[in-house]
């Protein structure tokens, strides 16, 4: 576990002098020794009243003052709302960020708020400047331990009341290749790319009386995201003129300000490079974008076209995609990852692309694209029930090949699945499996085998109707296996007892 609570004393004064700050506070100079989180006397008065450049979209919703009437205050937000201003010094790989988060009452009565601060998992990356309530009063006695920023409430949280937290912080990005102990993750920088994934403190879901903030693990994803709304403003400095931002949403900024608005999304991520070649295609109302490196142009074109093809197919097969864009980004490292509105595709697959659909570049692009439905729309607890997105994404690959590239289906079955002789119960959590290979083989591959067997058991038409109904009813939520089987039982009374024995604990 890591403890962090360092203060950047100049932050309060200089925060929106922006680049001045970047060259002082966040430069890789020796950092002062950590100050314990309870040393609130050192907190500067927050700058919460002016955290953002003037913007028509940046007007914060201020919770109503306590009223003499017994009526609870009206909620100002129905899901967490982030208003973030980020200045990236591309050359130094540092960011100065101000963030306001409005949090609706979670429906139960917590005595604290937990924000997930994934960047704090990496040593020397996250540096908290100021932390205050929406009215500007500094937060007292918070703690930042591992990825959990725990904020005790200063007064009881009434049902229907929105709480607002404002903070300033800096990030000194780590290299993406930072050792196996942190597991593969796109967050950080390479020689040609900066990736901001799980980059800002966020509100996890509050389920069964607890904020869901699982411990990071060596493989698999551990974070659980409720839907949230975002307004993000990004400014770049110290970057070549050719620098391009890929993001979960479309850039509606002007001049040097890049402005994004995204509603009902689980994540907002972005990736920056001076080398991106950009692909763009409209599919109905949705803009599909691809970002790749020129030296892999052939693979980049194929990955982009696969994304477009798979997107159109899933949109019709599962249900309509709810956002205005989807970006595919070539990872400058050997792993991929899905986020809402953007996914990374491992560069390793570009090298092996041979011009046919019988290749990992195509299979994995189809897989990652499907996560917009099985992760982005139907959410799940990725740590405790990873089969609910990964088995579905791998099964979506199968559907992609069966319907669009039947000539490559045998290759896919032989080399993506059966070569590994997948086995293992599919409903373990990410901490259960004792290694990436047993985890992947059970959750992804055998999970796909289960869905294939279920389709055979209940019939293809029933299965397709069930899948669409499951998507519709669980979209925007965090689905569980119980939800899956409850909805399934409404579509079929086929005896699947043998499948449950074969695939489930
Ligand atoms: Zn996946």
Quick: pLDDT tens for 208-225: 999 999 999 988 899 999
Q: Is the pLDDT of residue 123 over 60?
A: yes
Q: How far apart are CA 272 and CA 422, in angstroms?
A: 37
CA 481 to centroid of ligand 1, rounded, Å: 17
CA 362 to centroid of ligand 1, rounded, Å: 14
Query: Which is nearest to 310 in space by CA: 337, 333, 343, 352?
Result: 343
Q: How far apart are CA 302 and CA 290, in angstroms?
A: 10
pLDDT recorded at residue 295: 96
Domains in the chain: ranges and CATH: 1-53+77-273 (2.60.40.1730), 276-505 (1.10.390.10)
C-alpha dihedral sign at 406, 411, 414, 419 = negative
Backbone angles phi and psi of 261, in degrees to 5: -130, 125
SS3 label, residue 408: helix
Query: Which is nearest to 95 in space by CA: 23, 165, 2?
Result: 23
pLDDT recorded at residue 140: 87
CA 181 to centroid of ligand 1, rounded, Å: 21
pLDDT recorded at residue 419: 98
Mean pLDDT of 317-339: 96
Q: Is the pLDDT of residue 131 over 60?
A: yes
Report residues near ion ligand 1: CB below 5 Å. 390, 393
**All residues at 6 or more sequence positions from 326 whose CB lies less than 8 Å from its CB, including other chains:** 286, 287, 288, 289, 307, 311, 341, 342, 343, 369, 372
Lowest mean pLDDT among 24-38, 174-188, 243-257: 24-38
Q: How far apart are CA 484 and CA 263, in angstroms?
A: 26
pLDDT recorded at residue 76: 74
CA 455 to centroid of ligand 1, rounded, Å: 20
CA 135 to centroid of ligand 1, rounded, Å: 41
Quick: pLDDT tens for 249-274: 999 999 999 999 999 999 999 999 99
17 pLDDT band (50/70/90 cuts)? very low
CA 49 to centroid of ligand 1, rounded, Å: 41
**All residues at 6 or more sequence positions from 75 whose CB lies less than 8 Å from its CB, including other chains:** 104, 105, 160, 161, 162
Mean pLDDT of 86-95: 98
CA 368 to centroid of ligand 1, rounded, Å: 6
pLDDT recorded at residue 204: 97
CA 338 to centroid of ligand 1, rounded, Å: 7
Top-confidence residue, 34 or 374: 374
Q: How far apart are CA 321 and CA 262, in angstroms?
A: 14
Query: Which is nearest to 85 in space by CA: 273, 260, 343, 340?
Result: 260
CA 271 to centroid of ligand 1, rounded, Å: 19
Quick: pLDDT tens for 402-417: 999 999 999 999 999 9
CA 393 to centroid of ligand 1, rounded, Å: 6
pLDDT recorded at residue 241: 96
CB 58 within 8 A of CB 83: yes
H/E segment holding residue 471 = helix 460-474
Strand partners, 151: 113
Top mean pLDDT of 6-15, 270-279, 332-341 is at 270-279
Question: 35: which 2 tokens?
Answer: 């100050």
Q: Is the pLDDT of residue 14 over 60?
A: no
39 pLDDT band (50/70/90 cuts)? very low
**All residues at 6 or more sequence positions from 497 whose CB lies less than 8 Å from its CB, including other chains:** none
CA 447 to centroid of ligand 1, rounded, Å: 12
CA 443 to centroid of ligand 1, rounded, Å: 10
Beta strand spans in 30-142 (E) = 81-89, 94-103, 112-116, 126-133
36 pLDDT band (50/70/90 cuts)? very low
Residue corresponding to tokens 């609910």: 388
Query: Which is nearest to 306 in space by CA: 400, 374, 398, 186?
Result: 400
Q: Is the pLDDT of residue 52 over 60?
A: no
The pLDDT mean for the chain works out to: 87
CA 89 to chain centroid, in Å, comes to 22
CA 131 to centroid of ligand 1, rounded, Å: 35
Question: 290: which 2 tokens?
Answer: 């691809």
Query: Which is nearest to 214 in space by CA: 430, 453, 474, 464?
Result: 430
Mean pLDDT of 410-428: 97
Residue corresponding to tokens 């205005």: 324
Quick: pLDDT tens for 57-90: 333 343 444 444 455 555 678 999 999 999 999 9
CA 326 to centroid of ligand 1, rounded, Å: 16
pLDDT recorded at residue 71: 58
CA 120 to centroid of ligand 1, rounded, Å: 24
C-alpha dihedral sign at 149, 155, 160, 164 = negative
Strand partners, 114: 150
CB 310 within 8 A of CB 273: no
Q: Rg of the chain's alpha carbons, rounded to an integer?
A: 23
CA 138 to centroid of ligand 1, rounded, Å: 40
Mean pLDDT of 323-335: 96
pLDDT recorded at residue 72: 55
pLDDT recorded at residue 75: 60
Quick: pLDDT tens for 449-486: 999 999 999 999 999 999 999 999 999 999 999 999 99
pLDDT recorded at residue 345: 97
CA 220 to centroid of ligand 1, rounded, Å: 9
CA 389 to centroid of ligand 1, rounded, Å: 7
Q: Is the pLDDT of residue 496 over 70?
A: yes
CA 260 to centroid of ligand 1, rounded, Å: 26
First to last CA, the chain: 31
Mean pLDDT of 156-160: 92
Mean pLDDT of 215-244: 95
CA 291 to centroid of ligand 1, rounded, Å: 20
pLDDT recorded at residue 74: 56
């Amino acid at each position: 576990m890591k403890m962090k609570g360092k203060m950047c004393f100049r932050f309060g004064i200089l925060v929106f002098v922006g680049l001045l700050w970047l060259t002082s506070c966040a430069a890789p100079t020796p950092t002062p020794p950590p100050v314990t989180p309870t040393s609130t006397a050192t907190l500067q008065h927050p700058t919460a009243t002016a955290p953002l450049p003037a913007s028509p979209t940046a007007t914060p919703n201020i919770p109503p003052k306590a009223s003499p009437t017994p009526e609870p205050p009206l909620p100002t937000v129905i899901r967490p709302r982030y208003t973030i201003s980020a200045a990236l010094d591309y050359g130094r790989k540092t960011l100065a960020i101000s963030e306001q988060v409005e949090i609706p009452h979670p429906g139960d009565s917590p005595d604290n708020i937990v924000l997930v601060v994934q960047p704090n998992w990496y040593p020397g990356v996250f540096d908290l400047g100021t932390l205050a309530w929406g009215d500007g009063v500094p937060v007292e006695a918070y703690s930042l331990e591992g990825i959990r920023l725990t904020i005790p409430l200063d007064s009881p949280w009434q049902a229907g009341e929105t709480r607002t937290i404002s903070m300033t912080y800096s990030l000194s990005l780590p290299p993406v290749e930072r050792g196996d102990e942190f597991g593969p993750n796109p967050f950080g920088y390479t020689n040609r790319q900066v990736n901001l994934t799980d980059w800002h403190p966020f509100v996890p879901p509050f389920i069964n009386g607890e904020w869901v903030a699982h411990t990071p693990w060596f493989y698999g994803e551990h974070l659980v995201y409720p839907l949230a709304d975002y307004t993000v403003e990004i400014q770049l400095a110290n970057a070549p003129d050719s620098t391009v931002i890929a993001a979960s949403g479309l850039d509606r900024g002007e001049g040097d300000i890049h402005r994004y608005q995204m509603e009902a999304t689980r994540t907002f991520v972005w990736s920056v490079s001076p080398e991106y070649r950009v692909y763009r295609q409209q599919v109905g109302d949705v803009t599909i974008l691809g970002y790749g490196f020129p030296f892999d142009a052939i693979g980049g074109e194929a990955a982009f076209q696969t994304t477009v093809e798979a997107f159109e197919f899933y949109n019709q097969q599962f249900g309509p995609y709810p956002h205005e864009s989807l970006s595919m980004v070539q990872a400058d490292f050997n792993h991929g990852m899905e986020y809402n509105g953007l996914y990374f595709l491992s560069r390793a697959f570009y090298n092996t692309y041979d011009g046919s659909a019988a290749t990992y570049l195509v299979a994995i692009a189809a897989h990652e694209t499907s996560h917009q439905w099985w992760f982005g729309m139907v959410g799940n607890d990725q740590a405790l029930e990873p089969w609910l997105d990964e088995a579905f994404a791998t099964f979506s690959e199968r559907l992609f090949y069966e319907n669009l590239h039947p000539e490559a289906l045998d290759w896919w079955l032989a080399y993506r699945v059966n070569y590994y002789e997948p086995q293992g119960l599919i409903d373990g959590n990410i901490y259960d499996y004792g290694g990436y290979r047993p985890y992947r083989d059970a959750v992804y591959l055998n999970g796909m085998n289960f869905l294939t067997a279920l389709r055979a058991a209940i019939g293809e038409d029933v299965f397709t109707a069930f899948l669409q109904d499951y998507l519709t009813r669980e979209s925007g939520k965090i689905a569980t296996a119980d939800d899956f089987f409850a909805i399934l039982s409404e579509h079929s009374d086929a005896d699947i007892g043998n499948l449950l024995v074969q695939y489930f604990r």
